[in-house]
Amino acid sequence: MKVCLTASGGGHLIQLLKLLPILKKHRLFFIIPGSHMRATLKDYKVYTVSNPGRNLLKFVFHSVISLIILTKERPDVVITNGAGLVVPICFLSKFIFGSKIVFIESFSRINSPSMTGRIISKIADLFIIQWKDLQKFYGSKAVYGGGLV
């Protein structure tokens, strides 16, 4: 199975890396912003994209670059925990390539949902929360999985 791991830099990506031991039997690739983690991810295929923020032109450019990457890789599953730059990756993967989407709400989201979580919860095949208190925001769609830390 081919798995795309995608996240913003910093804490989001560090949390996602905690999944590597359980994913090692799969073909993995990463889509991340910038090249600051290339040394850490030297054993994996890594694509870097710009973080579009809330700039529409950058968002369109990011979406086109993401589509090119996804067309080349065709992931069976996309696993992410945010933030914003993953939204087009998840939508393109789901609706063009039929990929399954697994979203893990960030460990830092204790009392309120993230914007990315609210958006991706609508299309996720598996939506995992790391704090039980978030269940009230996501309802039965969310599965409590405990912390990745």
Cβ neighbors of 39 (< 8 A, separation 6 or more) are none
Query: What per-residue confidence (pLDDT) applies to 149?
Result: 64
Q: Can you give the residue range of the structural domain that contains 10?
A: 2-144
pTM: 0.95
Q: Supply 26's token pair.
A: 């799969």
pLDDT (tens digit per residue) in 41-74: 999 999 999 888 889 999 999 999 999 999 999 9
Query: What per-residue confidence (pLDDT) applies to 9?
Result: 85
Is residue 149 one of the residues assigned to a domain?
Answer: no
CATH code, domain with 59: 3.40.50.2000
Structural domain total, the chain = 1
91 CB-contact burial (10 Å; exposed 0-12 / middle 13-18 / buried 19+): middle
Q: Supply 78's token pair.
A: 């996309």
Query: DSSP class of residue 7?
Result: -
**Quick check: 107 pLDDT over 70?**
yes
